[in-house]
Amino acid sequence: MNIKDELLKISANVVIDEKKANYKIIIEDPVKIFDAASSLKNLGFDHVVSVTGVDYPDKVEVIWHVSSYSVEDLKGINLALTLPVKKPERVNQNEAQGNFASKKPPVTVPSLVKIWPSAIFNEREAFEMFGIIFEGHPDLRYLLLPEEFYETWPMRKDFTYNRVNLLKYLRCLLNE
Amino acid sequence: MSEKIFNIDDLQNINVEGEKYIILQIGPSHPGSGHMRIKVWLDGDIIVKVDPDIGFVHRTSEWLSERREWIKAIPIVERIMLPDTVHANLAYVLAVEKLLGIEPPPRAQYLRSLVAEINRITSHLYGIGIFGIFLGSSTVYMWAFGDREPFIDLMEMLTGARITTSYIIPGGVRWDIPNGFKERAETVLQYMERRLKDYEDIWVKNPVVQARTINVGVLKKEDAISLGVVGPNLRASGVYYDTRKHQPYAAYPNLDFEVPTMKNGDAYDRLLIRVEEIKQSIRMIRQILKDLPEGKIIADQIYNQLNPVMKKNYEEKKRVMFPAFMIHMRPPPGEATAKVEAGRGEIFFYIKSTGDKYPYRFRWVTPSFRNLPFFTHVAVGHRLADLPTIYGSIDYFPPEADR
């Protein structure tokens, strides 16, 4: 099986670094991601290692790192399924100043938990850290963060930690 | 018992509303080996649904590492994975070396494998000990933690620190092997082989242990694959996968070792496989000490950056001091992934560089985090009294999962 040809059938945008055994598929259209993931699963990539985002000024890149336990040829391959999503514009600037860190609108991508159940906790982590809403995830709740960080998306590059407002917030909690 | 294959829709379909079920909160203060909460829905004493609630010891290691120089991430990742420090250190350094394009010399590769295998034995002994206290056996808990000490002393002799060694740096290792280390190591290995027989007599072949663990917490092969379970837990379910074999690093391509696998995937198999892996690690340490090649312990690219005082120190004491390059390191733009088989399973690193002083994206996934789906699936259908057995058998370490 020539893995490169099989991957090129799924998407034309494939980056391969054979020396480091790193393969990368870039899917531009969120609608096609589900089909691409199904084809990868049929190929033998049966579990997700990590789901994460990479934050850029204008977009968030969602990456599913997948690998294989069942097909002998694929055990040595790390494949990154990449989906760049454009960030939406901020709707209301005034509203954003209320919270202790600026409120940023999340991005929305389809969830791949139905195909790879092993992504379930990984997608929850990517959601709370980067503000990526995985549509179709059965259980999309906050996982690691305490309450005061909800909707602040701390792993984005423009996250600012404002101590004074955090203290105000905590004082409000105490008064309640 | 969980006879049917795991289906993701089951999470939604279980209707846990109403007064039929008791909700039991186990934790967050120390259900065994760290802070996590397990929320359990009970029908009588049969477990209907389990929701692991983690994050009580989240230490923002990714956030911290993205705001520091590259070399300063080593102590951070080590302190997250305290029983597996060497592997966390090694995985990060492998990723950075891929970005820098540095290949360490053979002697350094062997020393990396040596310290990693010593660390694997301490990690498995830690796991066996915690499993012992979960089953109510104080003896094996004391034994395992006591028998960890000789190996930790070996690590101290080699690296200068007991747990957080920071021994592996980009390009090689920091210290060469000291005088008398080989003899000391052989004594410790013989001691451990003797002790393993004791463990089998009093613990592994103990009828009480067998009665409490056989056919408890069965994870079938298909489920282990689809849930993405890692490490000894995966191999106990019969999947032949080991990062040391399939994506070799350090000296593992040159070493002769086997990857033990089991068939049933129950709690007893997960105990047995840790004992088997200790035997394989002992075998590998003997090979490494026998075949250790001569030569430098640091790559030429780093050696050439040392100043005359550091070079003199290197020749006399066989110690690598940090050249200024280390703190001003700016790997060329690009991305790298690295995988390492730690004691508990596979560590994964994804690092992106933009040629800057700090990493642009620092992502790592630890074995305990990937073993989390275990709780949601395996414990369902068992009695509540079996939950400690299942929790203990997967060797879960909360600070490692929370990162």
Which tens digits make up the pLDDT trace of A113-136?
888 888 889 999 999 888 888 888
Radius of gyration of chain B (CA): 22
Domain with CATH 1.10.645.10 in chain B: 61-402
Q: What is the pLDDT of residue A96?
A: 46
Closest alpha carbon within chain B to A48: B228
Question: Are the Cβ atoms of A46 and B352 closer than 8 angstroms?
Answer: no
User: Which residues of chain A does B55 touch, with a Cβ-Cβ cutoff of 8 Å?
Assistant: 143-146
Instruction: State how far residue A68 is from chain B, nearest Cα, in angstroms.
Output: 8
Question: Are the Cβ atoms of B98 and A54 closer than 8 angstroms?
Answer: no
Residue range A3-175, CATH number: 3.30.460.80
Residue A149 has pLDDT above 90, yes or no: no
Choose between A95 and B41: higher pLDDT.
B41
SS3 A101: coil
Would you list the domain boundaries of chain A?
3-175
- φ/ψ (deg, to 5) at A133: -90, 120
Choose between B102 and A17: higher pLDDT.
B102
Q: What is the pLDDT of residue B92?
A: 93
Q: Which residues pair with residue A17 across a beta bridge?
A: A22
Contact call for residues B222 and B239 (beta carbons, < 8 A): no
Residues with Cβ within 8 Å of B173's Cβ and at least 6 positions away in sequence, in order, are: B104, B108, B111, B112, B115, B167, B297, B298, B320
Q: Amino acid identity, residue B239? A: V
Architecture per CATH, domain B61-402, reads as: Orthogonal Bundle (1.10)
Instruction: State how far residue A86 is from chain B, nearest Cα, in angstroms.
Output: 18
The Cα–Cα gap between B182 and B195 comes to: 20
Between chain A and chain B, how many beta carbons pairs sit less than 8 Å apart? 94
Q: What is the pLDDT of residue A12?
A: 74
Question: Are the Cβ atoms of B8 and A50 closer than 8 angstroms?
Answer: no
Which of A50, A52, A76 comes nearest B247 by C-beta?
Answer: A76
User: Which residues of chain A does B239 touch, with a Cβ-Cβ cutoff of 8 Å?
Assistant: 69-70
- CB burial of residue B3 (10 Å; 0-12, 13-18, 19+): exposed
The Cα–Cα gap between B157 and A46 comes to: 42
Contact call for residues B154 and B184 (beta carbons, < 8 A): yes
Chain B residues at the A interface, defined by Cβ less than 8 Å, are: 6, 8-9, 11-12, 54-55, 58, 60, 62-63, 98, 224-228, 234, 239, 241, 246-247, 335-337, 339, 346, 348, 350, 352, 360-361, 363, 365, 369-370, 372-373, 376, 402-403
Q: What share of chain B is helix, strand, coil (3-state, %, to 5)?
A: 50, 10, 35
- pLDDT, averaged in runs of 10, over chain B (403 residues): 54 60 79 76 85 87 90 91 90 91 91 92 91 87 91 90 90 89 92 91 88 88 89 90 89 90 89 91 92 88 87 85 85 89 91 90 91 84 87 86 87
Q: Which residues pair with residue B337 across a beta bridge?
A: B350
- Nearest to residue B307, comparing CAs of B295, B325, B331? B325
Q: What is the pLDDT of residue B50?
A: 87
Residue B31: how many other CB atoms lie within 10 Å: 18
Q: What is the pLDDT of residue B19?
A: 63
Question: Are the Cβ atoms of A65 and B348 closer than 8 angstroms?
Answer: yes
Q: How confident is the model at residue A98 (pLDDT cuts 50, 70, 90)?
A: very low
Q: What is the pLDDT of residue B2?
A: 45
Q: What is the pLDDT of residue B5?
A: 57
- Nearest to residue A103, comparing CAs of A162, A52, A37, A18? A162
Question: Are the Cβ atoms of B373 and A69 closer than 8 angstroms?
Answer: no
Closest alpha carbon within chain A to B10: A138
Closest alpha carbon within chain A to B398: A144
Q: What is the pLDDT of residue B88?
A: 92
User: Which residues of chain B does A143 touch, with a Cβ-Cβ cutoff of 8 Å?
Assistant: 54-55
Instruction: State how far residue B180 is from chain A, nearest Cα, in angstroms.
Output: 38
Instruction: State how far residue A168 is from chain B, nearest Cα, in angstroms.
Output: 23
Question: Are the Cβ atoms of B227 and A117 closer than 8 angstroms?
Answer: yes
Question: Are the Cβ atoms of A143 and B12 closer than 8 angstroms?
Answer: no
**Secondary structure (DSSP) of B158-187:** HHS-SS----EETTEESBPPPTTHHHHHHH
Which of B58, B246, B372 comes nearest A76 by C-beta?
Answer: B246
